[in-house]
A and B are shown apart, each in its own frame.
Chain A
Amino acid sequence: MKQKSKGHNRRALALAALTAMSLSPIAALASTGGKLLLTGGVSQIEGAAGGGLTPWAVIGGYGTEGQFGAQAFYTRVSTDDYRLGVTGLALGISDRVELSVARQRFDTRDVGAALGLGRGFLLEQNVYGAKLRLVGDAVLDQDTWLPQVALGVQHKRHRQGDIVRAVGARNANGTDVYLSATKLFLDSSFLLNGTLRHTRANQVGILGFGGDRRASASLQLEGSAAFLLRRDLAVGAEYRFKPNNLGIAREDDWWDAFIAWAPSKHVSLTLAYADIGNVVIRDDQRGWYLSVQFGF
């Protein structure tokens, strides 16, 4: 099982690198890479450009107005009893529209056996995202406190609908809508983001959508703060409030503390320590978050 999981990681990484390379002819055709280093954020766990846990109002990739940008990523979060692997791709169009797709694989490891699903049972979902920048420029509009604001949508389709319904979820599919505001305060080298998300997702959708405690969607707040140490280096923290829809499996808020490094506009690495709290029958899930991103 361990062997298999390692093989999967390597394949995911190779796939992300290949996708980024296959897109580079686009990069060669038009001028690309007009954004400043790290100002497109990194890839969050549902595939949008943002922090690690939360979407930001920035558009993924390094394209400015009239340019394309793209980013492919692989993220792994390993807690005491679970492992989440995410592979994804985002395309930025003219610094206005972002389209993204991501596959999340949640490895239940020993918990899968305890629940009778089988050791290492995988809960998987696909996330299809779109984001539209409405107003503002988070980086350049330094003479106003107006943030960059974007409206986004994440349509999630679970691949084990029967299982998540058996746990108590109302649906196997769901759609999150969010409004993000991002502002870089350059004179203090500080970045703030706030995201308001309208969602029915249980554990971001890994446990389906809606439940016995609450079947309908609720508004959840997500926040990120980052401090720039150098052009290529940022440290920060994030907090994501989450609904708690399922009676049999308490859901906690998530937070992390991260360091992100971009040696060039083609690669970034993010390391974080994440706390995802209680997940089904295991409490206090904490561990390392590692993400690698390729793009232009």
Chain B
Amino acid sequence: MRNFARSMLVALAVMWSWSALADGQSPMAPAPAHPELRPVLEAFGGVPGLEALMDDFMAGLLADPRTRPFFENADQDRVKRQLVEQFCVILGGDCTYTGRNMRESHEGHVITAAHFNALVEVLQDSMNRRGIPFRAQNRLLAKLAPMHRDIVNEPPRR
């Protein structure tokens, strides 16, 4: 029992130190590039594919009551353009991201984890409609998911 308690404590201490490390490296960069994901960009149909995806995605965001309030008063064409740039950069394409960083561009809204996931679901629906293979979708989502730390602000970050 004593040995067990000690090993549990050591395990916990290791977990906590990991988490402190993870918290320290908050990625402020809006769109770190991943040249190795170039094949995924091809699976999305390159920049024209991303442009078509964003048209469908924005329509989906405006149709879904969970995400509509965040986009109905936005400059939708600008948002779509910047999403194309951002996804293109992430997927190793020859683009330049011209938008603000993730934290600044979202701080005007109250955004929960549920809002963040709702946007992911709308994006997944759009990617399905565009016929993008599930595994390619997940390779992009794996790069977008950590942005939750800069986008979700309710409850306020510790």
Contact = CB atoms under 8 A, between A and B. Distances in A.
Interface of A: 31, 33-37, 64-67, 95, 134-137, 139-144, 146, 149, 179, 185-189, 196, 198, 216-217, 219, 228-231
A169 B88 CA distance: 63
A134 B15 contact: yes
Contacts, number: 90
B15 A36 contact: no
Contact of B142 (A35, A179, A186): A186
Nearest to A233: B134
A135 B16 contact: yes
Contacts of B8: 179
Interface residues of B, number: 36
Given A36-B117, A65-B112, A140-B145, A229 B22 contact: no
B12 A134 contact: yes
A144 B22 contact: yes
Contact of B114 (A67, A134, A143): A67
B19 interface: yes
A229 B112 contact: no
A95 B116 CA distance: 15
A216 B2 CA distance: 13
B143 A141 contact: no
B112 A64 contact: yes
Contacts of A34: 112-115, 117-118
Main secondary structure of the interface of A (DSSP, over half): loop
B59 to A, nearest CB: 20
Contacts of B124: 231
A64 B4 contact: no
7 contacts: A64-B113, A66-B154, A137-B148, A179-B11, A187-B138, A188-B138, A189-B138
A228 B21 CA distance: 29
A74 B28 CA distance: 45
Nearest to B16: A135
Task: Kindly name the residue among A31, A141, A142 whose own CB sees the greatest number of chain B CB atoms within 10 A.
Answer: A142
Given A189-B138, A198-B4, A217-B1, A36 B121 contact: yes
A229 to B, nearest CB: 7
A139 B19 contact: no
A142 to B, nearest CB: 4
Interface in B80-104: none
B135 interface: yes
Interface in B1-58: 1, 4, 7-8, 11-12, 15-16, 18-19, 21-22, 25, 27
B79 interface: no
A64 B114 contact: yes
The 5 closest A-B pairs by CB, nearest first: A34-B114, A186-B142, A187-B142, A143-B146, A64-B113
Contacts of A187: 138-139, 142
A35 B114 CA distance: 6
